[in-house]
Amino acid sequence: MSPQGSADADAKTADGRNLRYQVVGAPGGSPVFLLHGAPGSRIGPRPRSSVLYRLGVRLISYDRPGYGGSDRHAGRSIADCAADIECIADDLGLDSFAVVGRSGGGPHALASAALLPARVDRVAVLVSLAPHEAGEELDWYAGMNADNTRGFAIARADEQKLIERLRLQADRVQRSPLSLLDSLRGQISAPDRQVVGDLTIEKLLLEAYAEATRPGPYGWIDDTLAVRRDWGFDLADVRQPVLLWHGAEDNVVPASHARWLAARIPHADLRVQSGSAHFGAMGILPEILTWLVDAPVHA
């Protein structure tokens, strides 16, 4: 995983908001957007620059609105991310690119594919949630740990209670990023505890959490609200090749969510990996990037 310190850049949206992003890896490599989880930021864990050079990847990461250096976009939907991604692509002069979304970034990756079909070549979705309105085919909370179950249940029942809960959590994280990681350790499965027990991974996660909550709680709040509402696009409109990866022992977002998504995305390749869980999405990223830049088929 890469140490941070890359130069930041900013793009302005049509409605005047600032989007902060970073570009690392091979300058002439294949462009890939990496969409962070929730909470998360542009400086989240990613492969080292030497790995990205070897893979021929130019990796672009940005703060979703309300996180890090990006201005808030109150009331945003999952679908709204497509215009933000297009804004950054225009700022970089990119005609086409691939997208990978991790955890809370997964639905946003699918949105970019559905809504930017002429620009997004391939999509990878790692440990993603399914929509809340998945219907009877998915028991949304089955296999999910108690803390996530409680948080998402609050999101459905009482938005104001959710907002206050996340406001307090974000304040604790800003004062001590380790508080979030420590609370996770008591909830996650054994493969995940092993991953976050690595000191390098821990350092990168703590940096990402601190930057995510630096401007306040609203990125986290808006992400959670957007996931529980209508996503604003149709999964059937994702026509590009899609790789769905999930750890079989994930109890943050159970693998049943990936199976539900795979059944509804036209060209989805589902891979559920035994012995891995939610944070395994970090270790698998180099393999995913190889898939994304290997002879992409333009939609």
Give the residue ranges of DSSP H helices in 198-248.
199-213, 218-228
pLDDT at 4 over 50: no
pLDDT at 231 over 50: yes
State the chain's mean pLDDT as an integer.
93
pLDDT of the residue at 106: 98
pLDDT of the residue at 68: 97
Taking the C-alpha atoms of residue 18 and residue 29, their distance in angstroms, rounded to an integer, is: 26
Taking the C-alpha atoms of residue 116 and residue 113, their distance in angstroms, rounded to an integer, is: 5
pLDDT of the residue at 7: 84
Query: How do residues 204-216 score in pLDDT, each as one tens digit?
Result: 999 999 999 999 9
* Contact call for residues 205 and 159 (beta carbons, < 8 A): no
pLDDT of the residue at 295: 57
What would the mean pLDDT of 69-89 be, rounded to a whole number?
98
Q: What is the token pair recorded at 67? A: 């996180």
Taking the C-alpha atoms of residue 134 and residue 171, their distance in angstroms, rounded to an integer, is: 32
pLDDT at 6 over 90: no
| pLDDT band at 255; cut points 50, 70, 90 | very high
What would the mean pLDDT of 61-77 be, rounded to a whole number?
97
Q: Is the dihedral of CA 22, 77, 272, 236 positive or negative?
A: negative
pLDDT of the residue at 3: 44
The residue assigned the tokens 């609200």 is 225
CATH superfamily, domain at 8-293:
Alpha/Beta hydrolase fold, catalytic domain (3.40.50.1820)
Taking the C-alpha atoms of residue 157 and residue 124, their distance in angstroms, rounded to an integer, is: 31
| pLDDT band at 296; cut points 50, 70, 90 | low
Q: What is the token pair recorded at 56? A: 């021929």
Bridge partners of residue 244, in order along the sequence:
125, 270
The residue assigned the tokens 């907002």 is 163
pLDDT of the residue at 297: 45
pLDDT at 299 over 80: no
Q: Which residues, 6 or more positions from 194, have their beta carbon under 8 angstroms from its beta carbon?
A: none
pTM for the full predicted model: 0.94
End-to-end CA distance of the chain: 31
Taking the C-alpha atoms of residue 270 and residue 264, their distance in angstroms, rounded to an integer, is: 11
Residue ranges per structural domain of the chain:
8-293
Q: Which residues, 6 or more positions from 35, have their beta carbon under 8 angstroms from its beta carbon?
A: 61, 64, 81, 99, 100, 101, 102, 105, 106, 108, 109
pLDDT of the residue at 153: 78
Element spanning 269, H or E = strand 268-273
**Does 162 or 88 have the greater pLDDT score?**
88
What is the side-by-side strand order in the sheet with 268-273?
A: 8-12, 18-25, 57-62, 30-35, 97-102, 120-126, 242-247, 268-273
Lowest mean pLDDT among 107-116, 140-149, 280-289: 140-149
